[in-house]
Structure 1
Amino acid sequence: MNKTFKIYAILFVIVLVIIALLQVNKTESTDWRKTFDTSKKSPFGLYIFNHEAQSLFKDKLKKIGENPYNFYEKNQKKSPHNILIIETDIDVESWRNIMNEVSKGSDAMIINQYIPKSVADSIGFYISNFSSPESTALKLTDKKFTNSFVKIDKFPGGRGFTYVKPEVEILGKIISEDADDQAGFIKRKFGKGNFYVHSEPLFLTNYYLLQKGNTQYAQDVFSYLPDRETLWFGDKKSVQSQFFMRFILNNPALRYAWWMLLGGMILFIVFNAKRKQRIVPVIDPLKNSSVDFVKSIGNLYLQEGDFHEMMAKKAQYFLHKVRIDLLIDTKNLDDDFAKKLHLKTGKTEDKINEAIALIKKAQDPYASVMKDDLARMNSLLDEILK
């Protein structure tokens, strides 16, 4: 282990110890943001409501992951149903589709702090901010819901209906000690259906649903909807992310470990490459001169005109290959040798016999050999050994 590696290892251990100490002494901070996110367990998320919604709506709740405009364009002949909107950004065209469905007999429960003015005017109310005290109470006005209320003691929205048309029915109020009562939950007949609008969505968040008695208020609010299919239109944040790293990134400990791993790998690559990278010299491979040597010898024989010697060398090489590769004895070049060579190579007997005759001629030191004999024998022997 060299000195440089030891230094890096010590620095890495020190960083790990510092991070561990910071993590141990870390105080968990509560996220008080009003996210209204169905996947968040923070105080103002909708995690609990999301998990209890099916039982609340008697298993007739259907979550829709697209905006109302796209949904109703695909389902233009939808039978009357309930529509649920909870703190969701709805575009103008989608609002028009919702109003069209309500006019045909559907009921819509809108629990939003912001509703476009054109929609509010059509329903018959005006929503605005009022001087918000530190705490308010949401209470239903119907006598059968006398004991149904929720105390909003954490960041009340301070929004209510400052004006409603005569045909609008007030179902609930926002009550405070330091301000006048405001209408907070209203109903408006719209065509064959009804609009139910609530200005304070906090009563559906984790913080308030966990408090004793508050779930009854939520049940009473939704009891105004008929017992039928309810479509819950949520925005994109209600759809769980499909990113393959979501489990690691959603857990602080795993997230820190992941970033440390990536940082360590980057440092290792940078320093390791800097230490070990060298210029690689270009080394020419050794040249095989055997072929050049054979060509030189062959050219020498040709220049001398010694065809007989070249035939003898070729015949000697051929018989050697026959012994090694075909395992045929070459002592006697008789009919038995010719038959074995024919069977093992598959060449015709005529070519085998012609090749044997040329080999015998090459082995005879007194035979007269021409250039054509050398060329013919070379061609035949190469063809037989293919």
Structure 2
Amino acid sequence: MMKLASILKALFIVSTVIFTSCKKTDWKENYREKEKSPFGNYIISNEANTLFEGQEITVLKDNFYDYLLLDSDSTKTRNYILLKNAAYKQTAAGTTALLEFVKQGNSAFISLNFFKENFKEQLEFTTNDLDKDIFSTADFKKLKGTFYLKNKDFRDKTYHFERNIRRNYFLQYNKNKTIVLGTTKIDGEEVPNFIKIYHGKGAFYLHTNPVVFTNYYLLNNKVEYVENLLSYLSKDAILWDVHLKTSRYSDADEKKPSIFKFFLKHKTLTWFLVVSLAGLLLFMLFNARRKQRAIPVIAPLKNTTVAFTQTISNLYLSEGDHKNLVDKKIAFFLEKVRSKYLIETSNLSAGFIEKLAAKSGNEIQKTKYLIHTIITLNKKLECSEEELIGLHKMIENFLKK
């Protein structure tokens, strides 16, 4: 079935690529076929042709359920392989399709940390993972394990694994259709971690420690254990499931599970949902009765004088009528003199200038210059923008006193 020397040669080349890389090593378990990190499946997927020499290997680009729908070789006997952390892409319809596939005489080799509940119910087995609450890389590194195989050809061999070995095993199973093929030692007791379940004309080979198939262990002389596990498969063609895509044809409800459906599946959560909704409804009802209706805020009338003035001035500026603005500026100033200083402005004589300087507190020369400028601009038929600006500044400075 396999050529160990060829595999080891390939492993040496890959290990050189992986461990001479300058990048920081990623120790997370990802089980991806294109991932060269320690716990990826790059090596075993690339060496599949060597492992299964002479056997046709099809890497599934679609979901397994979709593949079977469009399968033109359904009469052929084949082996299905899935090596992942969990079968996340497998829907209920996908489970049914896989069971039917094996029932027709095919084989399925599946190694997962977590099997779906529906799948376990259909095949009548349960699992127990004593390390299900461990998530950190540092804690996984401490997990060691020893594996055994029951076949007479492998019976006297033990396989030791020094890290990332979960205490994950099969707890219950139907003994009438199940054979224990391999075990692991947990707390001094051997428990099954590799079983064969007969189903119709075919069989499922189930394994609870997919980490043994990763790059790390294949580079650390654990190839023999992997060889022995896969040797149970027939010489038929291989369907290698990379488990990347969700189904396009299975139930839409399974693709987008409803949170309410999850609550309704469990009696305690259903009651929690009912009580919460009732409490929210009562709170809204009594709270609405106790609160006074909001009193609308009536905004005070705005003083629009400044805005109006700004609008008019902008109109004159846009028209370029500087003379008109000069005249209004002069009229404004004279009105200010009459109201603030109580001085008659009909005659802008020398006496007027002296009286204005005295009452406003400005210098006589400054006052004289301003009044002479006003007289000059008042006589002009046209004024420039510079003259308008100059007059404005002179008036503003004068009134600041």
Q: TM-score, normalised by structure 2?
A: 0.49
**Contact 1:138-1:174 within 8 A present in 2 as well:** yes
Q: Give the structure 1 partner of residue 238 of structure 2.
A: 230
Aligned counterpart in structure 1 of residue 179 of structure 2, from 165, 169, 183 = 169
3-state SS of the aligned residue for 1:236?
coil
Q: After TM superposition, what 4+ stretches of structure 1 lie above 4 angstroms from structure 2? A: none
Q: Give the structure 2 partner of residue 221 of structure 1.
A: 229
Closer, same or farther: CA 52–187 of 1 in aligned 2, 3 Å: same
Structure with bigger RCO (C-alpha 8 Å, 6+ apart): 2
Aligned CA-pair RMSD: 2.2
Q: Give the structure 2 partner of residue 296 of structure 1.
A: none
Letter in 2 for 1:193: G
2:124 is aligned with 1:124: yes
**Contact 1:84-1:232 within 8 A present in 2 as well:** yes
Shift of 1:151: 2.1
C-alpha separation in 2, matches of 1:53 and 1:154: 24
**Contact 2:143-2:164 within 8 A present in 1 as well:** yes
**Contact 1:80-1:101 within 8 A present in 2 as well:** no
- 1:280-309 per-residue CA deviation (whole Å, 9 max, x = no partner) reads xxxxxxxxxxxxxxxxxxxxxxxxxxxxxx
Q: Give the structure 2 partner of residue 45 of structure 1.
A: 40
Q: Give the structure 1 partner of residue 93 of structure 2.
A: 93
C-alpha separation in 2, matches of 1:209 and 1:234: 19
Shift of 1:109: 0.6
Letter in 2 for 1:55: T
Number of positions where the alignment pairs a residue of Structure 1 with one of Structure 2: 210
Listed as ranges, the gaps of 5+ residues in structure 2 are 1-20, 133-141, 246-401
Q: Select between 137-146 and 65-74 the one with higher mean Cα deviation.
A: 137-146
Shift of 1:181: 2.4
Listed as ranges, the gaps of 5+ residues in structure 1 are 1-25, 238-386
Shift of 1:138: 2.0
C-alpha separation in 1, matches of 2:44 and 2:105: 26
Shift of 1:231: 0.4
Q: Give the structure 2 partner of residue 137 of structure 1.
A: 146
**Contact 1:81-1:230 within 8 A present in 2 as well:** yes
C-alpha separation in 1, matches of 2:159 and 2:29: 18
3-state SS of the aligned residue for 2:169?
strand
- 1:137-195 per-residue CA deviation (whole Å, 9 max, x = no partner) reads 1221112113554322212122110112212100001124x353221000011000001
Q: Give the structure 2 partner of residue 151 of structure 1.
A: 160
**Contact 2:130-2:166 within 8 A present in 1 as well:** no
2:227 is aligned with 1:198: no
Closer, same or farther: CA 93–134 of 1 in aligned 2, 3 Å: same
C-alpha separation in 1, matches of 2:127 and 2:59: 27
- 1:63-99 per-residue CA deviation (whole Å, 9 max, x = no partner) reads 1111111001001634221111111432222121110
Letter in 2 for 1:130: L
Matches within 5 A, 1:95-114: 95-114=95-114
Identity among equivalent positions (%) equals: 25
C-alpha separation in 1, matches of 2:93 and 2:157: 36
Matches within 5 A, 1:323-338: none
**Contact 2:149-2:155 within 8 A present in 1 as well:** yes
Structure exhibiting the larger radius of gyration computed from Cα positions: 1
- 1:96-155 per-residue CA deviation (whole Å, 9 max, x = no partner) reads 111001111001111111211221122221012126973111221112113554322212
- 1:11-52 per-residue CA deviation (whole Å, 9 max, x = no partner) reads xxxxxxxxxxxxxxx985321100001111111011111111
C-alpha separation in 2, matches of 1:69 and 1:28: 38
Letter in 1 for 2:108: A
C-alpha separation in 1, matches of 2:22 and 2:70: 49
3-state SS of the aligned residue for 1:143?
coil
Q: Give the structure 1 partner of residue 80 of structure 2.
A: 83
**Contact 2:143-2:165 within 8 A present in 1 as well:** yes
